[in-house]
Amino acid sequence: MRRVAFTGSHFTGQQIVKASAGNLKRLQLELGGKSPDVVFADADLEAAVPGAAMAAFNNSGQICSAGTRMFVERKIYEEFSARVAEFGKTLRVGNSADPKTEIGPLVSAEQLDRVTGYLTIGRQEGARVLSGGQQLTDGDLAKGYFVPPTVFADVKDDMRIAREEIFGPVISAIPFTDIEEVIERSNSTHFGLGAGIWTKDVSKAHKLARGIRSGSVWINCYQASDPAVPFGGYKMSGYGRERGKQHVEDHLNVKAVWIKTD
């Protein structure tokens, strides 16, 4: 085996890097994230509300690039956060084998304990629960690992729920004032996998996209993908790329051949 591609936590990724030192095996690592999803007051809110919600709630939040740090421009912060919370309440949680289900269970009892632990931590840190916030135990849901879409408001950048990857359907809603501020705060993380931007101002979107250090930036959408477009991260989110020509190039090695004909 000449190359290893790994998708998972940055803790496991670090161990793989250590193990590769003995033979300098080539690696491609797609690791964790704590991705910012930035919503400006000039955004199309009818699109941004479900877009920002599902950026974190899709697949029960078990997506490494989920937009779990939702930065909202202060002038619309309370309204927008409340609307995202209300949208989350409309999502049908249940058995993933049921076609009507929109939010399924977490993957294991261990992950359930981890996510519900962070729900407790969020309240202890002083965050305000707008929706969700505890395990679902009614009826058949008591038999599974179900956590409802959860929105925390009044989140500060130094709170654990804003800094650590939860890997569950949990949004930390954080207000911001201007573009320079939100670029700096978006980058104030060990991770750099994805980022979202919601605005009608294209120049503003490009400025923010240039400033945020992440492998993917989605503007007025989230988690869009294409086999031709590379995907991967910065910083503790890993290195190397999946998809695109970069993915193929990572499997190749350059060889120089010299021939003297005289």
CA dihedral 102, 58, 94, 46 (to 10 degrees): -40
Dist. CA 226–CA 222, nearest whole Å: 13
Dist. CA 145–CA 141, nearest whole Å: 8
Q: Which two tokens stand for residue 219?
A: 């503007």
Nearest Cα neighbor of 177 from 74, 49, 103, 87 is: 74
N-terminal to C-terminal alpha carbon distance within the chain: 40
Residue 230 CB partners (closer than 8 Å, separation 6+): 215, 241, 242, 243, 244, 245, 246, 247
Please say if 221 is a catalytic residue: no
From the candidates 30, 73, 165, 242, which is the catalytic residue? 30
Please say if 30 is a catalytic residue: yes
Helix 179-186 vs helix 202-211: crossing angle, to nearest 10: 30
Dist. CA 75–CA 175, nearest whole Å: 9
From the candidates 64, 73, 165, 242, which is the catalytic residue? 64
Which residue numbers are catalytic?
A: 30, 64
